Amino acid sequence: MPTSVISNTIKDSAGTALANIPVVIDLVPGPAFRMDIGSEIEPAVITKTDANGLWSLALEESANIDPASSYYRVREMAPKAKGGARTWFFRVPVNDSLLHDCLIQPTVANAIIKPTVVTSTSRPATPYIGQMIFEADTGKVLWYYGSTLGWQYNWWLAWGEVANMSINAANFTTTSTTYVDVTGLSNASLFTAINGRRYLTTINAFLGYSGSTGATINTAIKKADGTSYYRDQSYLIQSASGWNMPMYYESRDAESGVVGRRLMVNNAAGGTITIYASATHPALLSVYDIGPSAAPVIT
């Protein structure tokens, strides 16, 4: 039964120690158990201050109390003439401590919104909509949005990177006069999009060309079908060779299901298109969840 001694000294407004003041300590909201041995904790304990106004009690450490949402309340029953009764709320740490160092501020919100600590393999079997969990093995904070969406991150925040492709070994080249996939930056089944979320796709690469002045290179981020566009951009060639242009563009889309991203290029006039890539010169395609596009479908 791990316990720590909590203590406090009571004085009146003149700084005089208050002796023989009753001190009542109980658990809020109600009965609780010791996690290590399963025994019930005494609902209330009473003591008195000594001649120096000091009270101290060995109390069950909060980390060993079930439910862990429990906290202590202490009422120091000083008479009205000495300032009146004082009530404090606190938790008991693993070390002997002064009451002052253990104080908490319970609020109504605290009592309603608090994560259930689980692991990714022991999520609640019968969750309710709005239930919040903290997965101790993954560090994820998840909310239950019903049977359709299941456990998700906070719906109204951005969720960050969801997919990434890169080329970092060798350049990609093509002489195709019709659209072809840029190997390594094309995947027809890249990730599963969630209905109601919005995705940002970015390209970071450099494009080169060797061929004819005045030719046009077409580039596009296409959908899984290889036909529909997310975003496209064309380049008018200003010199026959040695040409090198940064590619950075982005697309914002709301979609659902298994989706793809395909970087595709062509040049109707012929010549060689190059997407530069090496270990120190990666070409990147990234997809980010940037927040909701609609309210969650809660079922």
Judged by the rule CB under 8 A, the positions of this chain that interact with another protein are 35, 61-63, 66-71, 91-94, 97, 101-102, 104-107, 109-111, 113-118, 124, 134, 136-142, 153-154, 157-161, 164, 166, 204, 206, 238-239, 242-246, 248, 276, 280-282, 284, 286, 288
Q: State the Cα–Cα distance between residues 264 and 140, nearest whole angstrom.
A: 36
For another protein, the closer of residues 53 and 127 by Cβ is: 127
Q: What are phi and psi of 111, to 5 degrees?
A: -75, -25
For another protein, the closer of residues 61 and 253 by Cβ is: 61
Q: How far is the CB of 39 from another protein (least distance, A)?
A: 15
Q: State the Cα–Cα distance between residues 183 and 185, nearest whole angstrom.
A: 6
**Hey, is 270 helix, strand or coil?**
coil
Q: How far is the CB of 104 from another protein (least distance, A)?
A: 5
Q: State the Cα–Cα distance between residues 185 and 167, nearest whole angstrom.
A: 7
For another protein, the closer of residues 6 and 21 by Cβ is: 6
For another protein, the closer of residues 88 and 159 by Cβ is: 159
Q: How far is the CB of 17 from another protein (least distance, A)?
A: 26
User: Which residue, 270, 190, 282, is CA-closest to 230?
Assistant: 190
CA angle 97, 102, 104 (to 5 degrees): 175
User: Which residue, 171, 199, 172, is CA-closest to 265?
Assistant: 172
Sequence-ordered list of residues with C-beta below 8 angstroms from that of 42, at least 6 positions apart, any chain: none
Q: How far is the CB of 84 from another protein (least distance, A)?
A: 25
Q: How far is the CB of 66 from another protein (least distance, A)?
A: 7
